[in-house]
Amino acid sequence: MLLLRTDHNHTDFKALVETLNQELCVRDGEDHAFYNQFNGIESLGHVVLAYEGDIAVGCGAFKFFEVGTVELKRMYTPPIGRKKGTATLVLKELEAWAKELGNKRCVLETGKNLPEAVALYSKSGYRRIPNYEPYLTTDNSICFQKTLN
């Protein structure tokens, strides 16, 4: 599997995010409009794409959250890339990139209705933290953090 560091302008990233948004619209139900307002990609200057051959099979990104901390965003593996370790590879590459840029911590928000994501982050060393803005009052949100070693 090939990993590519790029930014939010990459055509394959845009296509994967569109598919992700369609899936989340179904899974989030009526909460989707709330979450969607925080999921624009314009501020994502650090994107990782995973490829099998010339097919994009996964993505993830981060944005700067506060000094020394990045927030992971838009993690997605379409069905063709699942059960192959794709998400773990993308996550590790994002963490390495964030660390190279001097960051000490990653944070993220995911949903209770995304058990695959919760399992990925839990097995990857993330620990649950109190929800942060803008997710303080959303019952479906789960926030995590990991210290980068």
**Residue-level pLDDT, tens digit, the chain, 149 residues:** 999 999 999 999 999 999 998 887 776 666 656 666 666 788 899 999 999 999 999 999 999 999 999 999 999 999 999 999 999 999 999 999 999 999 999 999 999 889 999 999 999 999 999 999 998 988 889 999 999 98
CA atoms within 13 A on the CB side of 111: 18
- In single-letter form, the type of residue at position 142 comes to I
The domains of the chain are located at 2-147
Class of domain 2-147: alpha beta
